[in-house]
Structure 1
Amino acid sequence: MSGNTFGSLFAVTNFGESHGPAIGCVIDGCPPGMELSETDIQPDLDRRRPGTSRHVTQRKEEDKVEILSGVYEGKTTGTPICLLIRNTDQRSKDYGDIAATFRPGHADYTYLQKYGLRDPRGGGRSSARLTAPMVAAGAVARKWLGRQHGIVFRGCMQQLGEIEIGFESWDHVPRNPFFAPIADVSRLEDYMDALRKSGDSCGARIRVTASNMPTGLGEPLFDKLDADIAWAMMGINAVKGVEIGAGFASVTQRGTTHGDSLTPQGFATNNAGGVLGGISTGQDLEVFIAVKPTSSIISPRETIDVNGQPTQVITKGRHDPCVGIRATPIAEAMLALVVMDHVLRHRAQNAEVQSPLPAIAASFL
């Protein structure tokens, strides 16, 4: 009932606090025999880590991962893998003024109500910093899935505040700090510069995909692949909405449009987002998440103190004006963890199932 473990056969237990000595996770259920080292994990953490541009928090953390267990002579042993990331640049004094107040839109209020106490330093367990261990675990899942099934995970930003971002090429995504699929991000940079100077924050919309998907992943009725994807994405700090495939656009579509027609070569469209009846079709998974504006901002806002008296709160320190800027590698990691768990579950029950469909159709469906 603690809510700190994700997955069943590939289970990841997340631990630590934003300003504690370290954060990390324990992965239980990773198949044995896969070559694994810190160099397999570090690149994804580098994509997520703070301080990479002027548009994100200037907290300087290396986010250097250490493998403490579960790997012997460079290969996974099948036993729990402990991944540790040490915190090295905490400034807890920045949070002294908010220890007795509540930031609007933050978990300060609910954590105190639930536990009777809270760690105000950087948000404690509610901090977005606790997504780093999930990115590390996701890197392990991505490597195994890539080697065993050729599955590829990608993500990009689709909207920053009011600015909608068109799609030009996946090649642009690693070349700018926004993970935007466009060549020219000057408009996004100007928008963020003005936002930071105003002392405010904004949200973002992120797209994440998985290609080369196998068919048959997902367990009806209550362990559907898309249900688990939504659960995983809502577990990311600051995410307030999830869409799969056409998502809310399905409301205005007609059945003649929304239903993805089947041909001998495969599906004609992908409004379903790669999932039908909770089971993967073999098409790309298409997932979209909405990330809310950052709660920690320097603009004064109305709130109450721990005695219930009205006051104002101003959050000092180093914060992301838009936490969505660093959300892309996090969403990719969470999608990889869901797929990894379902691949292992499918293998356990259905490894010997033979599709009755002709080979050409099965290769596309």
Structure 2
Amino acid sequence: MAQNRPHNMKRAYMLYLGLIIFHSKSIQSAPLSSYLVSSFTPPDSDSNLPFNHIALNNITGDIYIGARERLYQLDAHLNLKQTVDTGMCSFPNYDRFNDNKLLITVITPQNYTLITCGGCGDNCQTRNLDDVSVTRDLYNSRKVVAPGDLPTVGVVALGADYETYIIPKHGESFYLFIAISGGGAVSEFSSISKYSLTDLQLQQYIPAYVFTDDSTRSKHMISYEDFIYVFISRNEETYLGRICSDSPDQDFASYTEIKLQCGLDGSQNVIQSAYIGPAGSQLAESMNINTTDDLLYAVFSSSPSSSLCVYKMIDVQQRFEDAILGCILGTDTGTENMFIEGSECRKLQGGIAKLVTEVHLLKVYVRFE
């Protein structure tokens, strides 16, 4: 399949803007416990079950925690509201543990639910956000979460049915986007996939074998404007992958990658978490930007310290376009990615005017003929 894909695709281009760095050794003002506002300890007799995922209800402030064989619903002050015993998997899998790896709150005009997916292959549930014990099972033809200790991340975002470009339908709707870890080691899975919210049926996907390095770890996923961003740790380096949320193709030929670095010497290189949001007044002033300009905040680590690096989203988006254009023009800003099967640069035929037109189109969909 990958050989027939007209990828631009999957370019690796380094983005390095370490603007704010906090090293754990420099925080000496007070022990962390002195800042503690509230805490939660599971009341279960076996309270050492690992926590795997957390989700937030932005309307009520409720917090949902996915643990091994448990779901916890807390209020905004971390008081326990409900515990659900999800049990072990009812059929053999890698270790039969139901780790409740994926929790996604869906708050849209059509849905007000919590999607939970454990370690039981293709089985997920939709649950009532107010009462997580109320559930409806959803089954899929492909496995939804990665096996064992491999992480799975997801996000709900607006997108278009790729068939819309063939048979016009009713525009955009909300979809569940999921990224798993493991690369070719989990070939029966999809590395990045898109599902309908109503029945969790698979819409589009990139097969896991496309990511040839088994060290690939999808650590975080964010929806921003018309794109889905996946933060990937690979061989102790960090890559930012991007797909168009409304790609009109079956296998996301719009996938593109750049490389992220953090720290003055790039030594903080393993991504832990990320967030996109506006700059505060002081940060905006120091960076000479508007308070409404969006920034990418990303936490990196490298033993024994951690760092917070901040990137202007306009710069992040520009690096993707630079990589794509560099691939078209054959410059060193656009290169094939050795970690992705079928990655290749193809020059477009025609003058520079056509190239500029094509690059503007790439903001919606990346395809090279």
Bigger relative contact order, structure 1 or 2 (CA pairs below 8 A, ≥6 apart)? 1
TM-score by length of 2: 0.23
Which structure is higher in strand share? 2
TM-score by length of 1: 0.23
Which structure is higher in helix share? 1
